[in-house]
A and B are shown apart, each in its own frame.
Chain A
Amino acid sequence: MTDEPPFTIEQFCKNAGQGKLLGGKCRKCGKIQFPPRPICDNCLSRDFEWTEIPARGKLLTYTVIHVAPTQFQQMAPYAVGIIQLDNGLRLPGMIKDVTPDKIGIDMTLKIEFEACWPTTQWPQWPRYYFKPT
């Protein structure tokens, strides 16, 4: 165990709020848990260190949501996708600052950070999104 901040989703979001994309690297087997987890899903160790994750990657798949849940209805239609970061890790998120017809698999996207908009139902953690480079 270390004195580092806890390897939790909340801490991931706090880091994101400071513009930092960090994962938990297992000191035993080297696997990066991203988002961080309390135990390594590979070797079950609890011994981690924070490691910086490259904030850009390529789009693996995407969709445009037209029918949205209550909290997101005002934003629809909006694009979401899953990117593979430059080190192979994957992350889902919204794709902004581009019209849907310009979105395509394999396009390069970078991660931007923004504050959570006011809502009562969702946790008030900072968010991230993807945009074209």
Chain B
Amino acid sequence: MKGKPLVSIVSAGLSKFGKLEGLYGREIFALAAKEAYERCPAIDPKKDIKALFVGHMGESYEHQGHTGATLADWAGLLHVPATRTEAACASSGAALRAGVQAVLSGLADVVMVGGVEKMTHRSTAEVTEFLAMASDFPFEQWNGITFPGLFALMATRHMHDYGTTEKDLATIAVKNHYHGSMNPKAQMQKEITLENALSSKMVAWPLKLYDCSLITDGASCLILTKPELAKKYTDNPVHIIGSGQASDTIGLYERQSFTSLASAKIASRQAYEMAGVKPSDMDLAEVHDCFTIAELIAYEDLGFCKAGEGGKLAESGETRLGGRIPVNTSGGLKSKGHPVGATGTAQAYEVYLQLTGQADRRQVKDAEIGLTHNLGGSGATAVVHIYRRGQA
């Protein structure tokens, strides 16, 4: 059996993703927490959960900071030590890693990790501005470079160096919408065509509307415990067997390569080594497709294909459900939605469903090992986790 369990996931919750009118972020998080409580009746949340780590990117959306304490209270966990982790769109990937560390340290036997963002009540221009705060202020934001703009800079160079095409990128959008059409919690549960994607409105050339993830309200959470305690709570746990995290320069312009993210390569190497597995061992992966080019580069950084061959892998269909390594069966950030602070643990939620056989119409057959790849900003943060099915 591969990979010694570091910690075990015994339950998970996810709110509906989309435009959740009339709900504050804290209320959306409470709904995700409630699902996790109901999924695991053996847990007494008030008694058992000893700490909360939550990812939340921005105060700007709801004029609300200090999210750790707020969410602990709204999740019915008043007085637990509660800490917000912020690493832009990797905020809850970082929360998950903080939870892993807390359990491994012995300070807490059972912890909740999660994340939330409430975004859809803001205009596109405001969201564009708030998201750009995760990039370098004095040189990137100040020159009018947006988030789609940063990934467009990567795409332009990738196309130049490797012959990657706009169609390769659109293929990823079509795939993720197909997967999302089977996810009842996804924001956009509809399939799109290559033509839809290629003719959609320009956002930052060569990236068009359908190359971009969505503006979403949503929350996600997991309950973690020590592997030796897992069976007390469930007979169907998922073990985390590898954890990696790395940083890079805040400015894209300072990096040696614009076609690969060093942080993702380092974090994934750490996680693979810790888990004792190889990229070819993965049965599925949830990768950070904030833009289609990000998923394409993730294929290469994670070792699913060689550098420069991401476009070819996308075209091959191997990353589609039924292929060699299905990627983003949830629909990804592209179709499921991207409430930034919630995304890292929402990716883990999908892997949890897949490895416990609860993914319904989008179930990957006999899935045993999965991976999540969560990026912050243009890759100044990357968090990678590897998971193994607990049941034989």
Binding site for B on A (CB under 8 A): 9, 13, 35, 60-73, 75, 77-78, 80-82, 90-94, 100, 105, 122, 127, 129
Contact = CB atoms under 8 A, between A and B. Distances in A.
13 contacts: A9-B138, A35-B138, A61-B153, A61-B156, A61-B258, A63-B205, A63-B207, A69-B128, A75-B144, A92-B251, A93-B139, A94-B143, A94-B144
B258 A67 contact: no
A82 B148 contact: no
B204 A61 contact: no
B336 to A, nearest CB: 21
Contacts of B201: 66
Nearest to A122: B142
B203 to A, nearest CB: 5
B126 interface: yes
B309 to A, nearest CB: 20
Nearest to A129: B143
A72 B141 CA distance: 10
A122 B139 CA distance: 12
Nearest to A12: B138
A67 B148 contact: yes
Contacts of B156: 61-63, 105
A63 B251 CA distance: 16
B132 A69 contact: yes
Nearest to A34: B254
Q: Name the residue among B129, B154, B201 with the largest chain A CB count within 10 angstroms.
A: B129
B217 interface: no
Contacts of A94: 143-144
A90 B205 contact: no
Q: Name the residue among A63, A72, A81 with the largest chain B CB count within 10 angstroms.
A: A63
B253 A91 contact: yes
Contacts of A91: 139, 253
B203 A67 contact: yes
A21 to B, nearest CB: 13
A117 to B, nearest CB: 12
Contact of B145 (A35, A75, A92): A92
Contacts of A69: 125, 128-129, 132, 141, 144, 146
Nearest to A82: B253
Interface of B: 124-126, 128-129, 132, 138-146, 148-149, 152-157, 160, 201-207, 251-254, 258
Contacts of B206: 63
Contact of B252 (A13, A82, A105): A82
B253 A66 contact: no
Contacts of A75: 144
Contacts of B203: 66-67
Given A82-B252, A94-B143, A61 B128 contact: no
A113 B160 CA distance: 29
A65 B253 contact: no
Contact of A67 (B139, B146, B157): B146
A122 B145 CA distance: 14
A65 B142 contact: no
B140 A70 contact: no
A79 to B, nearest CB: 9
A63 B204 contact: yes
Contacts of B254: 90
A61 B125 contact: no
Contacts of B128: 67-70
A69 B125 CA distance: 5
Contacts of B207: 63
A92 B144 contact: no
Contact of B258 (A60, A71, A127): A60
Nearest to B144: A72
A77 B207 CA distance: 13
A35 to B, nearest CB: 7
A36 to B, nearest CB: 11
A129 B126 CA distance: 25
A50 B204 CA distance: 36
Given A67-B124, A80-B145, A60 B129 contact: no
A127 B258 CA distance: 24
Contacts of B144: 65, 68-69, 71-72, 75, 78, 80, 94
A90 B249 CA distance: 13
Given A62-B153, A92-B251, A67 B143 contact: no
A129 B144 CA distance: 11
A80 B142 contact: no
Contact of A82 (B160, B204, B258): B258
A91 B205 CA distance: 20
Contacts of A63: 149, 152-153, 155-156, 204-207
